Amino acid sequence: MYPKAYIDYLVYFHVNFDYFECHEVLEEYWKKSPAEKRETIWVAFIQLAVGLYHERRDNTNGALKMLKRSAFLFEKQQATIESLAIDPNLLLSLINQRMTHIQTNTNTPFSPFSLPILQHDLLLLIEERREVLQIPWEKEGASHNSFIVHKHFLRDRTEVIEERELQLLKRRSYE
């Protein structure tokens, strides 16, 4: 029905507002596909999460850039969005409203973004997966959780560094 990575994304997006983790789980899923078969819908969702991550950290330029890119990709994928149980028109409207808000209300605190989910069964899948992942529901948008807010600085980067070194070795072996 839905890819597990998509459900995980929705859990992190709606339950604890961990937009960095949203990016991580969907990017990993997206990269597992051969390059010629990678679906841009996942890039749009990744960019939405990255935009919100930047917004929460007061990186206005980064937020606007990512949100604009995500809206552009979502605009082209409305049928796919709907097949993922998200209202495409409302999603695009919400992204545009968020971009306007970022541009005009620079001193307001961050507020979470809710994806307009169309189907109750998807909400049930999110709750089931939340229980498996043992993630408690957040009410404050996780703005008080400095680990989530600054995750790209505070996380263990060992795996990332090892992967970069591996890719560098691969490139050098082809030279």
> What pLDDT does residue 135 have?
81
What's the predicted TM-score (pTM) here?
0.81
Helix residue spans in the chain (DSSP H): 4-14, 19-32, 40-56, 60-75, 78-83, 88-104, 120-133, 146-149, 151-154, 158-174
- 3 state SS of 154: helix
- In tens, the pLDDT along 138-162 reads 766 555 666 455 545 455 445 655 6
In which residue ranges of the chain is pLDDT below 50? 147, 151, 153, 156-157
Q: CATH number of the domain at 4-174, please?
A: 1.10.3450.10
> What pLDDT does residue 158 have?
57
Domain boundaries, the chain: 4-174
Structural contact between residues 141 and 111, judged by C-beta atoms closer than 8 angstroms: yes
- Amino acid making up residue 175: E
